[in-house]
Chain A
Amino acid sequence: MRATVLVAVLLASPVAAQGPAFDSPGQSSYGTMGQTTRFSTEFNPAIGFVIDAFGDYLGVDNDSDGFNAELRLLEFNAAAYIDPDAWAYVVISSEELEGVEVEEAAVEYIGFDNNSTLKGGRFFVDFGKQMQQHLEELRTLERPLVLREYLGEELAGTGGQWDHWFAVGDSPVRFSVGVFADLLGEGHHEDEGEEEPETAVPERKDFDELSFSARVTGMRDVGESGILQLGASTRIVPEFTAEFGPLSQDGLSNVVYGGDITFGHTDETGNKRFTCGGEALLFDGDLSAEVDDPAAPTVLTVLDDDVFGFYGFADYAWNQQDSAGVQYSRIESPENPADDVSELDFYYTHHFTEFRRIRFGVTAIDAPMDGDALRAYVQLTGFFGSHAHGLNW
């Protein structure tokens, strides 16, 4: 019986280019559109994998210190043209072997007769310099503190984004506008084991309750070897709800504004590279929510305020294989704006080849409420097959 149902389902379910072997009358047919060889691999997408693992020692002012090792990330990515005017990509990952997540799956339309593109699907939001990057692409083990706290570990949204760039003299200027179902961010405080109110946007909403993003950025040559980039970004969540057990509060909203500056210099051989820069963020609106007693909550309090934070970094590669840098981030805590929290990273990266690298780093966190922490880590990353994310600007 089960086998019969399975066969029926398979016959009734054409799967993209690998359609059914036989089309009965009334079925939508892919065969009439030219793709008739079901088992051809010639049009398959480029496929890549990433493995990212680390071992670390964490010293904190409580009992959770000690050594650990984690297979942090398995990432599968694939990309291909759908037709001459559109391409698509997918990034599927498993973090810390806890389930599988579709980080990105999007189609980008490139058929406009100008410098515009239109992207739809789920993808990392165009905010600043580091939010578009996947974890393994970062120069440090984690995203900078200010980005984690104000935007989330990752900021992927399901929606659409229009991109356009134009030239001012010899300098390109790009802007993007995105509209999304939800931009609350992921991973905010989830790993700290704290019981906190959950935030969510309404499943069905008016247009002005959708989340928005926007970015404008320009780059210019500085002499023969330098590049200067300036950018400004925003992320708007105009309607969300905080809930904890029976308690909830709706009509909440917040906005994050960001400004970024980056300078890069490369010597004449291309081997020695110096990069420095930073981002400053202002987080405004309903920042956080808490309950009086997580065991028996009676009051849910929402903090409406604005907080400021930033990060800055400097990174130097003295040959093709070796680089080192420092990154510093400081924030006013969204939970308690009177508290300043800071994070200082030192790191050294060695590329065995273009596709395999090892990184040693030390991260020091100074947090008045949660206590100070020191983390030393070694990170090993391997890139397999096709792997590229193109120009990130």
Chain B
Amino acid sequence: MKRMPTSLAAALLLGGVAAAQLDVVATIPDLKDIAEEIGGDRVDVISIARGTENIHGVSLRPSHLVKVNKADVLIQIGLSLEHAYVPGLLEKGRNRRIQPGAPGFVNCSEGWEAIDVPEEISRSRGADIHPLGNPHMNIDPRGGRHMADRILAGFLRVDPEHAEHYEKRHAAYVAKLDEAETRWAKLGERLRGKKIAIYHNDFTYFARHYGMNVVTSVEPKPGVPPSPKDLARTVEVLRREQVGVILTAKWSNNKDVRFVAEKSGARVIEIPIMVHGVKGVDTWIGMMDFLHRELVGALDP
């Protein structure tokens, strides 16, 4: 928890104000947003990822090490989404309160039914293989509710004295989600059966939720950049299947995607795979609104 000068603490206590906030480190901005919704002014949250980068290869900064060392809570998605940086950060951060198994470690994929669980753990299936299944649960319209539940559970473990505060705010957030999910369900009906291509399998949960048809991916296998032969195959598939849209994130909106789009006539839509992934998307609900709006606009105008 935040430390403060004794005189300031005494003044705050005398004033009847509960002073201590939880120091929270979230791995991605989605988790920061939801943690702030539930924690309110009782939490001080930072996000390690900015939202625009490849979610699997986030660059750490020196201040992250200090934040992790002092954190009361660490929130991650799990399913090895953050395997490139969280294990090393936890090792060097030397903070027993947030190690896996400790009360301050919140794994948001706990209890989540993952899809795309590989039958064989081998690099022959791709460089970016996740043994526990597809980790991009933050792009599932149901994901916000699940992440919020897990974050609430974590806050209650670490700070049970303020359970009422967290539960009240969680209920308010769930009410917002109820409203949003009704809105999304109507839009989602218009996406059913629509054909799309993707760059990486970070959009699979969303597509599957609405019964969309992911015809192909520009990456031949997860984490493997396409060869010229792969690109030619993708162009041919998009033409044959009459796929008009390629979904890609900011980090993967590269020359390969542009080449396929140009040759096949498909339109490229840059989507956020995290909050802040595109300009103006600052909350998780806002990100979902953006995704529904953009896709319906492109596929069922």
By a beta-carbon cutoff of 8 Å, the part of chain A in contact with chain B is 110, 113-115, 165, 167, 169-172, 219-221, 224, 227, 266, 268-271, 273, 319-321, 352-355, 384, 388, 390-391
Which residues of chain A come closer than 8 Å to B66, judged between CB atoms? 167, 169-172
- Across the interface, do A221 and B61 meet the contact criterion of CB distance under 8 Å? yes
| Minimum Cβ distance to chain A for residue B278 (Å) | 11
Determine the residue in chain A with the shortest Cβ distance to B95: A115
A220-B62 contact given A114-B94, A390-B91, CB 8 Å threshold: yes
Whether B52 is near chain A, meaning CB under 8 Å from some CB there, is yes
- Across the interface, do B65 and A172 meet the contact criterion of CB distance under 8 Å? yes
- Across the interface, do A268 and B62 meet the contact criterion of CB distance under 8 Å? no
- Across the interface, do A171 and B62 meet the contact criterion of CB distance under 8 Å? yes
Which residues of chain A come closer than 8 Å to B225, judged between CB atoms? 320-321, 352-353
Determine the residue in chain A with the shortest Cβ distance to B63: A170
- Across the interface, do A391 and B92 meet the contact criterion of CB distance under 8 Å? yes
Per DSSP, chain B at the interface is: loop
- Listed by A's residue number, 5 A-B pairs whose Cβ atoms lie within 8 Å are A110-B91, A268-B50, A269-B250, A390-B91, A391-B60
Within B42-85, the residues touching A (CB, 8 Å) are 50, 52-54, 57-63, 65-67, 69-70
A268-B53 contact given A167-B66, A171-B62, A353-B223, CB 8 Å threshold: yes
Which residues of chain B come closer than 8 Å to A115, judged between CB atoms? 69, 94
Whether B224 is near chain A, meaning CB under 8 Å from some CB there, is yes
Q: In the docked arrangement, what's the CA distance between A208 and B297, Å?
A: 76
Whether B259 is near chain A, meaning CB under 8 Å from some CB there, is no
- Across the interface, do B223 and A170 meet the contact criterion of CB distance under 8 Å? no
- Across the interface, do A270 and B251 meet the contact criterion of CB distance under 8 Å? yes
- Across the interface, do A269 and B251 meet the contact criterion of CB distance under 8 Å? yes
Which residues of chain A come closer than 8 Å to B61, judged between CB atoms? 221, 227
A353-B127 contact given A320-B225, A390-B88, CB 8 Å threshold: yes
Which residues of chain A come closer than 8 Å to B65, judged between CB atoms? 165, 172
Q: In the docked arrangement, what's the CA distance between A261 and B237, Å?
A: 50
Determine the residue in chain B with the shortest Cβ distance to A117: B94
Contact partner of A221 (CB less than 8 A), chosen from B62, B70, B223, B254, is B62
Which residues of chain A come closer than 8 Å to B128, judged between CB atoms? 354
- Across the interface, do B92 and A269 meet the contact criterion of CB distance under 8 Å? no
Contact with A along B83-118 (1 / 0, CB 8 A): 000001001101010000000000000000000000
Contact partner of A219 (CB less than 8 A), chosen from B62, B94, B127, is B62
- Across the interface, do A320 and B127 meet the contact criterion of CB distance under 8 Å? no
Whether B123 is near chain A, meaning CB under 8 Å from some CB there, is yes
Q: In the docked arrangement, what's the CA distance between A221 and B63, Å?
A: 7
By CB atoms of chain A within 10 A, which of B67, B94, B127, B128 has the most? Answer: B94
A224-B54 contact given A219-B62, A320-B225, A353-B127, CB 8 Å threshold: no
Q: In the docked arrangement, what's the CA distance between A113 and B95, Å?
A: 9
| Minimum Cβ distance to chain B for residue A273 (Å) | 8
Q: In the docked arrangement, what's the CA distance between A172 and B92, Å?
A: 11
Q: In the docked arrangement, what's the CA distance between A266 and B61, Å?
A: 10
By a beta-carbon cutoff of 8 Å, the part of chain B in contact with chain A is 50, 52-54, 57-63, 65-67, 69-70, 88, 91-92, 94, 96, 123, 127-128, 223-225, 250-251, 254
Per DSSP, chain A at the interface is: loop
- Across the interface, do A268 and B52 meet the contact criterion of CB distance under 8 Å? yes
Which residues of chain B come closer than 8 Å to A172, judged between CB atoms? 62, 65-66, 69
| Minimum Cβ distance to chain B for residue A170 (Å) | 4
Determine the residue in chain A with the shortest Cβ distance to B276: A268
- Across the interface, do A320 and B50 meet the contact criterion of CB distance under 8 Å? no
Which residues of chain B come closer than 8 Å to A221, judged between CB atoms? 61-63
Which residues of chain A come closer than 8 Å to B96, judged between CB atoms? 113
Contact partner of A266 (CB less than 8 A), chosen from B59, B88, B91, B250, is B59
Contact partner of A270 (CB less than 8 A), chosen from B58, B63, B127, is B58
- Across the interface, do B57 and A270 meet the contact criterion of CB distance under 8 Å? yes
- Across the interface, do B52 and A319 meet the contact criterion of CB distance under 8 Å? no
Contact partner of B250 (CB less than 8 A), chosen from A110, A268, A384, is A268
| Minimum Cβ distance to chain B for residue A126 (Å) | 14
Determine the residue in chain A with the shortest Cβ distance to B93: A115
A269-B94 contact given A170-B66, A172-B62, A390-B88, CB 8 Å threshold: no
Which residues of chain A come closer than 8 Å to B70, judged between CB atoms? 167
| Minimum Cβ distance to chain A for residue B102 (Å) | 12
Determine the residue in chain B with the shortest Cβ distance to A114: B94
Which residues of chain A come closer than 8 Å to B88, judged between CB atoms? 388, 390-391
Q: In the docked arrangement, what's the CA distance between A353 and B223, Å?
A: 7
| Minimum Cβ distance to chain B for residue A120 (Å) | 18
- Across the interface, do B123 and A355 meet the contact criterion of CB distance under 8 Å? yes
Q: In the docked arrangement, what's the CA distance between A49 and B13, Å?
A: 58
Which residues of chain B come closer than 8 Å to A171, judged between CB atoms? 62-63, 66
Q: In the docked arrangement, what's the CA distance between A6 and B22, Å?
A: 62
Which residues of chain A come closer than 8 Å to B91, judged between CB atoms? 110, 390
- Across the interface, do B59 and A353 meet the contact criterion of CB distance under 8 Å? no
Which residues of chain B come closer than 8 Å to A269, judged between CB atoms? 52-54, 250-251
| Minimum Cβ distance to chain B for residue A106 (Å) | 15
A227-B62 contact given A114-B94, A353-B127, A391-B88, CB 8 Å threshold: yes
Q: In the docked arrangement, what's the CA distance between A355 and B254, Å?
A: 21
Q: In the docked arrangement, what's the CA distance between A110 and B92, Å?
A: 10
Q: In the docked arrangement, what's the CA distance between A384 and B127, Å?
A: 11
Q: In the docked arrangement, what's the CA distance between A110 and B99, Å?
A: 13
- Across the interface, do A354 and B127 meet the contact criterion of CB distance under 8 Å? yes
- Across the interface, do B223 and A354 meet the contact criterion of CB distance under 8 Å? yes
Which residues of chain A come closer than 8 Å to B63, judged between CB atoms? 170-171, 220-221
Determine the residue in chain B with the shortest Cβ distance to A163: B92
Q: In the docked arrangement, what's the CA distance between A300 and B277, Å?
A: 68
Q: In the docked arrangement, what's the CA distance between A110 and B91, Å?
A: 9
A270-B223 contact given A171-B63, A390-B88, CB 8 Å threshold: no
**What 5 A-B pairs have minimum CB-CB distances, sorted nearest first?**
A270-B53, A219-B62, A170-B63, A353-B127, A269-B251
| Minimum Cβ distance to chain A for residue B205 (Å) | 22
- Across the interface, do A355 and B52 meet the contact criterion of CB distance under 8 Å? no
Given contacts A172-B66, A266-B59, A269-B250, 15 further A-B contacts (CB under 8 A): A113-B96, A115-B94, A165-B65, A170-B67, A172-B69, A220-B62, A221-B61, A227-B61, A268-B50, A269-B53, A269-B54, A270-B52, A270-B59, A391-B60, A391-B92
